[in-house]
Structure 1
Amino acid sequence: MPSAGSVAADLTTSSLHLAVIIAMVAAGVAVLVWLLRVFTGQRQHDVAAQRRAREQADRPPRPPAAPATRFMEATPPGPGLAPPRRRPAAGHHPAGRRAPGTGQQRAVTPAVRRPLQLVAADLRRLTRELTTVPGGMPMARRRGLLAAYDDVLVEAADLLQVPHRLLDTPEGAREFERLRLLGELEAAGLVTG
Structure 2
Amino acid sequence: MPSGGWVSADVGTSLLRLGGSGALLIGGCAVLVFGMRWLLGELLRQRARRRRRRALPRHPERHPSPALAQRRARHPSAHHSTGPLPVSPPQTGPRPVSRPRRPIEVVAADLRRLTRELTVVTGGGPMTRRSGLLAAYDDVLVEAAELLEVPEQLTTQPAAAREFERRRLLALLAARGLVVGD
TM-score, length of structure 2 as denominator length: 0.48
Higher RCO (C-alpha 8 Å, min separation 6)? 2
TM-score, length of structure 1 as denominator length: 0.45
